[in-house]
Amino acid sequence: MKHFLRLVGAVAAASALALPATAADITVGLITSMTGPSASIGIPYAKGVATGVVYKDDVNGIKINVVQLDDASDPSTGARDARKLIEENKVDVLMGAGSTPITLAVTTVAHELKVPMIALSPADVPGEPGSWMIAIPQPPTLMVAVVVDYMKAAGVKTVGYIGFSDGWGDLVYGGLEKSAEPDGIKILTNERYARADTSVTAQALHIVATTPDAVMTGGSGTPGALPFIALRERGYTKEIYGTPALINPDFVRVGGTAVEGVVASTGPVVVAEQLPDSYPTKKIALEYQEAYQKANGEPARGAFGPYAFDGWLVLLDSAKRALAAGAQPGTPEFRAALRDALVTVKDVVGTHGIYNFKPGYSFGVDKRALVLVKLVDGKWKLVQ
C-alpha cells in the first residue's frame, strides 16, 4: 500500500503509473490528462482515484490495482491508451478521461473490446455504442437547467453563449437550448473557441454587441476562465454563469477578479461544510475530504477529484456484485459481469449525488446532485 501511494503522489509529475497485479486482483485502467490543456481537470481525477484507494482498496479481500496513463489532452492518445490498457495490461475496467472528447474516444474502444468504462467527464452515448459505459458527472442538461431556473428568477430575458468548440461545448449549448427557450429566455449568440486558444477577443466583442442580460459559458478548468477575462476587459458587467466544469482551483487562480461573482451549478461536495446535516451526501463528502488529505497531503478542493472518488465508490459496489456472481477478475466473464453490475447500480451514495443506473442510460443522478454556488472572495459559497 505505501509503495502504491508513493507512486500516486508522483503522478502529477509523471505521465504513467503502473502496478503489477496478481491473478486474483481487480485491475483498473485510469486514463486522464496529466499534461496539456485538460491537465487542470485530469490531475484532480488522478488524485481522486488515489483518494479512493486510501478509502478502500479491496473488495472482499481482493485487491484493486491501478494502471494509469496520460492521455496528453488528446482523443487519439486516449484511444491508444485504452487499447494498451486492455490488450497489454488486461484491465477489468477503464476510468477516465481528461475531457469529454477524450472520453468519447475511449468509450468507442471500450465498446469494441467489451470492457466496462466508468466515465469521469460528462459523456452521453445512447444505445448499443454506449452500452459498456456509465457516466459519473451530472447530466449536462440538468447542470444547465438549474442555472436557467436561477436566471429566470433573476428576470433574465436574453442570454449569450460561449463555449468550447467540441463535444462539451455542444452538450452545454444543447442544455441551454432545452431549458432557456421554453422558459422564454432568448439565446442571442453561440460563440465557440478551442481549449488551446489564448484569445477570445472576437467572440467577446460579438457577445457584448448583442447586449444580453446574461452570459452562459460552456468551458471547463483553466481554459474556462478565458471568456470571463475577455468579457470583463470589454466592459461587460452583467452576470456570467457556468457549470460544475468551472469548479476548479486553477479556474479561480487564472480568472482572478474577472471570475469573482460567477454563479455556477455544482455537486454539493464543493460546499459540504455549508450543507445541513440532513443532506444525504454530507457524511460521505466529509469522509472524502479526510481520505483526500491522507492520500495527497493537501486539502481537498474543487469538483473533479470527487467525481473520480464517486466512480471508485460505484466500482466497489459493482465489483462486489460481479464477484458474487462467480466471475473471476482478469476474464471476459468478469468484465461482462462488472458491466452488468455497473448499469444496475442502486442507491450508491457519493459525494456529488446518489447513483442509480439502468441499461441504456449514461447518467445516474438526479437534482439532489446539484446546488448553486457563487464565487465570493475566491471561495465558493452556497446560494441554494
**Whether residue 119 has pLDDT greater than 70:** yes
pLDDT score recorded for residue 384: 66
CA distance 82 to 89: 10
Average pLDDT of span 356-376: 95
- pLDDT confidence bin for 7, thresholds 50/70/90: very low
- pLDDT confidence bin for 24, thresholds 50/70/90: confident
Cβ atoms of 232 and 200 closer than 8 Å: no
242-299: pLDDT as tens digits: 999 999 999 999 999 999 999 999 999 999 999 999 999 999 999 999 999 999 999 9
pLDDT score recorded for residue 254: 96
Residue 150 half-sphere exposure toward CB, CA atoms < 13 A: 25
Share of the chain above pLDDT 90, in %: 92
pLDDT score recorded for residue 20: 44
**Fold classification of 2-138+283-367 (topology level):** Rossmann fold (3.40.50)
**Whether residue 18 has pLDDT greater than 60:** no
Around Cβ 355, how many Cβ atoms within 10 Å? 24
**Whether residue 9 has pLDDT greater than 70:** no
Assigned C-alpha cell, 5: 501511494
Backbone angles phi, psi at 70, to 5 degrees: -90, 125
Cβ atoms of 225 and 248 closer than 8 Å: no
202-237: pLDDT as tens digits: 999 999 999 999 999 999 999 999 999 999 999 999
341-357: pLDDT as tens digits: 999 999 999 999 999 99
**Fold classification of 140-266 (topology level):** Rossmann fold (3.40.50)
Q: 339 vs 1, which has greater pLDDT?
A: 339
Q: Where are the domains of the chain?
A: 2-138+283-367, 140-266
pLDDT score recorded for residue 13: 36
CA distance 132 to 102: 16
What mean pLDDT value characterizes the chain?
93
Q: Is 140-266 in the same CATH topology as 2-138+283-367?
A: yes
Assigned C-alpha cell, 263: 454563479
**Whether residue 10 has pLDDT greater than 50:** no
287-333: pLDDT as tens digits: 999 999 999 999 999 999 999 999 999 999 999 999 999 999 999 99
Assigned C-alpha cell, 121: 467527464
